Amino acid sequence: MFRIKTLTLANRTVLAPLANFSDHAFRIICRRFQAALVFTQKFHINALLNNPSKFESDLEVYSEERPVAIQLIGNDPNALAQAMDILESYQYDAYDLNLGWPDSDALQEHSGGALLTTP
């Protein structure tokens, strides 16, 4: 058993958030192969706020996927709070703010790994 805060997992195998791969079918397959926790792909909070209906089917969670986590990226605390209001109805088991993405676009907008450069 492995714990992340209040979430108890069967093992330490976690599917990372993979852009263009972490769809429902892939997450279900990974769960069947003993991934204890699966992630959706990474979602930018601004994209979610600008057009939430565009991502509705991607955000949906099926019981076969659980436990499932979502990873968000962005740099605006107010936008993050608004995105969390939208995501609350999907009842994810865990929420993750990306603090490691070293992509030049993320660094330029001061999100991902760049969030660690300023307190």
> What are the average pLDDT values for consecutive 10-residue runs of the chain, which has 119 residues?
92 93 96 97 94 93 97 91 95 91 68 72
Helix (H) or strand (E) holding 39: strand 37-44
Q: Are the C-beta atoms of residues 72 and 80 closer than 8 Å to each other? A: yes
Give bridge partners of residue 14 from the DSSP assignment: 37
pLDDT for 55 equals: 93
Instruction: Give me the pLDDT at residue 116, please.
Output: 75
Architecture of domain 2-117: Alpha-Beta Barrel (3.20)
CA dist 14 and 65 (Å) reads 12
This prediction's pTM:
0.86
User: What is the CA angle 73-74-79, rounded to 5?
Assistant: 120
Task: Output the pLDDT for position 111.
Answer: 72
Say how far residue 94 (Cα) sits from the centre of its chain: 8
The one-letter amino acid code at 103 reads D
